[in-house]
Structure 1
Amino acid sequence: MHLHRMPGLVQRLFPECIWTMPATRPLLYLTFDDGPIPEETPFVLEQLAQFEAQATFFCVGENVRRHPEVARQVLAGGHRLANHTYHHISGWSHSRPDYLADVEQCRQVLAEVQPEARPLLRPPYGRITPGLARQLHQTHQVIMWDVLTCDYDPDFRPEQCLATAIRLTRPGSIVVFHDSLKASRNLRYVLPRYLAHFAALGYQFHKL
């Protein structure tokens, strides 16, 4: 079973987090988690460029450290880098000091290529506690999602992944894809078709 959108009750427990954006016109906010990596991120950038789409890349800090040239390619394409912790850790299974230290380590790496006064953060797996969310909110804008494509699931057929993502998307949706090896099969099938579908409907794609 795939949980593509968090229930409203869960969202209300985290009022500091942003789950969707105001929908005054047909805009979508595409986000890509877990990169940047040379195997998948350039493909994403190529697809986005074809539709003049901007996006936000929630980066694992150690990937930025390993592949700074790919991170710079993201910025050169007009996109935004954001924090996804340094080691892609869960806020449920690490102490608060350890988690915050990992977030800070990622922030420092990102600041070397993209200085920001108030950076964006997405907790890996969406796993944080209300107390941790409140503390993170003091230094970061915490971004969750409206549509999780589940492209990382090898048992989720590409055609089904695409159809579900299209069905759940609405104006103002924050949509999660993954520029990761695990998501490659679904990502390479779904992303170009998803972009084409919503571009044909008159949507624009903005970064957060």
Structure 2
Amino acid sequence: MFYTPKTPRWLKKIYGSCEWDVPVTNVKTIYLTFDDGPHPTITPFVLNELNKYDAKATFFCIGNNVETYPEIYKQVITEGHSVGNHTFDHLNGWRTDTVKYLQNIAAAEKLINSDLFRPPYGRISRSQIKALVDRVPSLRIIMWSVLSGDFDNTISTEKCLDNVLENAGDGSIIVFHDSEKAFKNLQYALPETLKYFSKKGYQFKNL
């Protein structure tokens, strides 16, 4: 499985209309994001860890999971976090025609009230981006500057943490996953990430 923990500049330029990081301010800030939830046990674990540091985050939710676990979805919002659309069925935009892709996103919109969208796998064509923004001009397509790799079961928990600590900084948008596949790495890397950047004076904000 090939991926780069730090998003290369050339990719940001190709998809320049998407948001890859957040402009730096006078307050050191990290933006934690969590894809693929909500999950009945893993999302509450994430929320509990975030609460320890008064950290806010953004959860890009799959519509089907929101429909299945509405109480967990409501908990995310009640605790002051942001939510975003991650399609209804976790579709790969590169393998899905634009009409079907937009229909799937619209199905998720019925459950997820947000102007934030993240394409699953980060795979979306520029024509799909245009079609999305033409339909919803206020839509913000959120990518990332740091990919933790928590979904990669071939790496150690320590390597997952290193992916974050070695590449994140002020204004970084970091991707974790509140999913079963990622939990082995997440349950180690998330608490350590929060501890490390908190000690360095960072705040954790939602998008």
TM-score relative to the length of structure 1 = 0.94
Paired position in structure 1 for 2:122: 126
Paired position in structure 1 for 2:133: 137
State the distance in 1 between where 2:199 and 2:7 align: 28
Gaps of at least 5 residues in structure 2 are none
Aligned with 1:177: secondary structure? strand
Report matched runs for 1:140-159 at 5 Å. Answer: 140-159=139-158
Matched, 1:104 2:100: no
Instruction: State whether residues 21 and 172 of structure 1, in contact with CA within 8 Å, keep that contact through their aligned partners in structure 2.
Output: yes
The AA in structure 1 aligned to 2:58 is T
Instruction: State whether residues 147 and 163 of structure 2, in contact with CA within 8 Å, keep that contact through their aligned partners in structure 1.
Output: no
Report matched runs for 1:1-208 at 5 Å. Answer: 1-24=2-25, 25-111=27-113, 116=114, 119-138=115-134, 139=136, 140-208=139-207
Q: Deviations over 1:123-168 (max 9, x none)?
A: 0000011111122233221000000101011111001111121010
The AA in structure 2 aligned to 1:148 is L
Instruction: State whether residues 136 and 142 of structure 1, in contact with CA within 8 Å, keep that contact through their aligned partners in structure 2.
Output: no
CA positional deviation for 1:77: 1.0
TM-score relative to the length of structure 2 = 0.95
State the distance in 2 between where 1:192 and 1:6 align: 23
State the distance in 2 between where 1:178 and 1:32 align: 5
The AA in structure 2 aligned to 1:55 is A
CA positional deviation for 1:41: 0.1
The AA in structure 2 aligned to 1:73 is Q
* Structure 1 ranges of 4+ moved more than 4 A: none
Query: How many residue pairs get matched?
Result: 202
Q: Percent identity at matched positions?
A: 42
State the distance in 2 between where 1:172 and 1:141 align: 17
The AA in structure 1 aligned to 2:119 is P
Q: Deviations over 1:100-138 (max 9, x none)?
A: 000111111113xxxx4xx10000000011111122233
CA positional deviation for 1:83: 0.2
Aligned with 1:110: secondary structure? coil
Q: Deviations over 1:6-56 (max 9, x none)?
A: 322221111210000011231011000000011200000000000000000
RMSD over aligned CA atoms reads 1.0
